[in-house]
Amino acid sequence: MTDTNAFYALRDELRALRDVIPALRSEVAGGPNGESPGEPAGGGRLPWRDRLVRSVLPAIDLPLPVLLVAISGGGSTGKSTLFNVLAGKELSRVGFRAGLTSRVLLAGHPDVLSGPDVAASLLHRLAQAPEPWSQAGDAVTPGPPLYAASSSVPPNLLLIDTPDFDTGVEGRMVNRERAEPVLRTAEVIVYVFTNTVYNNLSNTRFMADIVGAIGGRPMVLVYRVSRAADDAEVLEHCRVVARHLYRTPQGRELPRRELPSEILGIYRMHESDAVALGQAEPSIIPVGDVTGGRAIRELLSGLDVARIKRSVFAADLEQIRREAAADLEALRGAAHRASLYRRGLEQVTAQEALGALRTFPMNEAVALTTRLFLESSPAHIKVLRATGRVVAAPLRGVQALGRALERLVGEAPDEPAPPDPTVELERDLLNAANALRNRLLDDHLIVRVTADDPLLREARAEAAEEGGAAQVEPLGGGVFNVHLTAPAAVRAREADLLARDWTAVTRDLRAVAHDLVGLPADIEEDLAAIVTRFRAGMGWRERVREGLFASLSALPSLLGVTYMLLTANPVAGAGIWIELQGLFGLNDLWALVSIPASAGLSEQERKQLQQMVAPAFRLWFERRLTSVVSVLQDAVCRPALEALDGVPAPDDARFARVERALASLEVPT
């Protein structure tokens, strides 16, 4: 990755942290209005984000990679002179009077310093907003920071001329007070010092405090010294300065001959009358291996912006990373809990819906299956049927038989007063809606599951977590109650759940019952396909016997239930098994198996019968369950489901996005 790309990458990762986590948090809490005192990932403030937005991003959220380079040093050391050389023009007044520069002056390439925003952003920690520069004399009077564009400044730098930090006015170091905030903001410091003060303790202590210990801010040393001093001596003096500036984090001095890696380059600048008279520019001469013969402009324009910013903000970034990672974990947990709750709610809804599905329209199912079967008959059977020998007579007989059998297993009253199926369904739907509402408004949503239900496994894992939002209650016989705490987003909508207009709900359910009674109109096509498949698989004996189907019109509704119990349940998970047991009772199920035998049907006929009616039951069951579930969701659960829709899914891509951002901030060890 090029240096520029590394900068943009860092910027984008930090922007992602800034924007994505708060968005996720607000969604988990149920939107901007969802206050959630108990939820760790809910509202409230994010200290790491304040730090990111206030301290780090102003230096990084820039259109171009730019380093803040401050020229610093004692009075009259030549800071402004150096600044003007690098800026390519006299922006800052120079002179013999120490303490001349009284303001911060910023110079940048016009591409970078296009307007006051960049200057303001980079200097955001200063008390006053920067103002445009107009002439070299501006900087000698105190006032807000100034900024000026010059195309001589390398585009990766914002150069800052600063007031000195050692001259005094009436016992106060006024210029130090002016310089210090900007020095603390700068990312690289060019330290200008003279032979008279290189060993001055007061000055180096101040600078040491600014740059920090080893691992602190990088620095370029510019030593104004006589031409007579040789390079070895210059280097030796600079090592002394460096040892004073960068101690170990434990406060110990570095070994004598070592130059800390924070020193990026060393230059010497000679005394010259021509320079002092303003007739010549000073030559800034590279010294030592660390500088590698690079001119100061070359060295500064080659600085790795991303690397230096990362190192300057290392402590901030590490704290941000740690705290944001903890936040991300909490958010993931909340998203996971919400998805667990949603599945629990779906299961509970399906279980309640099942209660509204007690009246399988058996007669209709048999009639439809029979008709479809006959319609697909080979011609000779059709002829048979046309003679009426097969169909007509036994139909009523079998109907009577069916009713007799229903009485036998207690399904039909002795006095056949057939209940109105629409009224029954209405009543069942209302009961289901009411029960569902009560379960939803409980502190915990209680879902009954069997041992092999995946929900149980996840609820157990959640219950094992500290502060987990699930509890598991064994009921014996491989049955469990899972208690799920409502997520913050759902709790935030409790008032809406309570405020459902039940008169309207009742009216809607009535209308729905009217549409849902009987067989779904659209199952005919599916059933016809099943009949065709069935016919293709029939042996010749069965084909001969197929006349049987013409004679059927009634069967105990429980026949279909056997099918459900013998095959995997397609809709609501294992929980449905319990519900079926509860609805029909085990004894009835056994009675059911014996019915066809006592009805005088052969084993073969019984099987055929079952094979044919079972698909009708299955289709009815699937479609009706789906319809009733969606009716109940609409009538009862809507606010809760809307709230859950707003919560990010556990596999929401933004979690991975934040994770990537956090990983990129990790310091390689």
> Which of Mg ion, ligand GTP, none is residue 601 near (CB under 5 to 8 Å by kind)?
none
345 binds ligand GTP (CB under 6 A): no
> Which of ligand GTP, Mg ion, none is residue 224 near (CB under 5 to 8 Å by kind)?
ligand GTP
For ligand GTP, the closer CB: 167 or 626: 167
485 binds Mg ion (CB under 5 A): no
The tokens for 404 are: 């007799």
Element containing residue 57 per DSSP (H, E): helix 57-60
Range in contact with ligand GTP (rule: CB under 6 A) among 6-14, 94-102, 375-383, 660-668: 94-102
**Helix/strand/coil for 502:** helix
> Which of ligand GTP, Mg ion, none is residue 272 near (CB under 5 to 8 Å by kind)?
ligand GTP
75 binds ligand GTP (CB under 6 A): yes
224 binds ligand GTP (CB under 6 A): yes
**Helix/strand/coil for 65:** coil
562 binds ligand GTP (CB under 6 A): no
Range in contact with ligand GTP (rule: CB under 6 A) among 204-212, 267-275, 367-375, 567-575: 267-275
> Which of ligand GTP, Mg ion, none is residue 96 near (CB under 5 to 8 Å by kind)?
ligand GTP
Exposure of 609 in the CB half-sphere (CA atoms within 13 A): 28
95 binds ligand GTP (CB under 6 A): yes
Range in contact with Mg ion (rule: CB under 5 A) among 94-102, 142-150, 296-304, 308-316: 94-102
99 binds ligand GTP (CB under 6 A): yes
Pick from 77, 80, 84, 185: which binds Mg ion (CB under 5 A)?
A: 80
* Smallest distance, Mg ion to C-beta of residue 80, A: 3
Count the helix, strand and coil residues of the chain and give each as a percent rounded to the nearest 5: 55, 10, 35
Pick from 276, 441, 565, 583: which binds ligand GTP (CB under 6 A)?
A: 276
Element containing residue 67 per DSSP (H, E): strand 67-73
Binding mask 101-130 for ligand GTP (x = CB under 6 A): x-----------------------------
* Smallest distance, ligand GTP to C-beta of residue 227, A: 10
For Mg ion, the closer CB: 18 or 224: 224
What span, in angstroms and rounded, lies between the C-alpha atoms of 551 and 366? 10
> Which of Mg ion, ligand GTP, none is residue 269 near (CB under 5 to 8 Å by kind)?
ligand GTP
145 binds ligand GTP (CB under 6 A): no
What span, in angstroms and rounded, lies between the C-alpha atoms of 223 and 287? 10
The tokens for 266 are: 């060393």
Phi-psi region of 303 (alpha: psi -120 to 50; beta: other; left: phi over 0): beta
Q: How far is CA 371 from CA 131, 544, 584, 607, in A?
A: 91, 17, 29, 19
553 binds Mg ion (CB under 5 A): no
Range in contact with Mg ion (rule: CB under 5 A) among 75-83, 209-217, 515-523, 536-544: 75-83
What span, in angstroms and rounded, lies between the C-alpha atoms of 54 and 45? 14
Phi, psi of 415 (to 5 degrees): -85, 110
* Smallest distance, Mg ion to C-beta of residue 267, A: 18
For Mg ion, the closer CB: 102 or 339: 102
> Which of ligand GTP, Mg ion, none is residue 260 near (CB under 5 to 8 Å by kind)?
none
What span, in angstroms and rounded, lies between the C-alpha atoms of 51 and 220? 28
For Mg ion, the closer CB: 96 or 540: 96
Q: Nearest-CA neighbor of 193 among 69, 287, 76, 84?
A: 76
Q: Which residue has tokens 């704290």?
A: 319
For ligand GTP, the closer CB: 28 or 186: 186
What span, in angstroms and rounded, lies between the C-alpha atoms of 308 and 508? 66
For Mg ion, the closer CB: 122 or 139: 139
Single-letter code of the amino acid located at 6: A
* Smallest distance, Mg ion to C-beta of residue 83, A: 7
Are 664 and 337 within 8 A, CB to CB? no
Pick from 61, 271, 526, 605: which binds ligand GTP (CB under 6 A)?
A: 271
Q: Which residue has tokens 């009713």?
A: 403
DSSP 172: B
The tokens for 557 are: 């509704």
Are 365 and 617 within 8 A, CB to CB? yes
- Per-residue three-class SS string for 459-474: HHHHHHCCCCCEEEEE
63 binds ligand GTP (CB under 6 A): no
Pick from 34, 282, 344, 648: which binds ligand GTP (CB under 6 A)?
A: 282
**Angle value at C-alpha 262, between 258 and 267, nearest 5 degrees:** 80
Number of residues that bind Mg ion (CB under 5 A): 3
What span, in angstroms and rounded, lies between the C-alpha atoms of 262 and 260? 5
80 binds ligand GTP (CB under 6 A): yes
Judged by the rule CB under 6 A, the positions of this chain that interact with ligand GTP are 73, 75-81, 94-96, 98-101, 164, 224, 269, 271-272, 275-276, 282
Chain contacts with Mg ion (rule: CB under 5 A): 79-80, 101
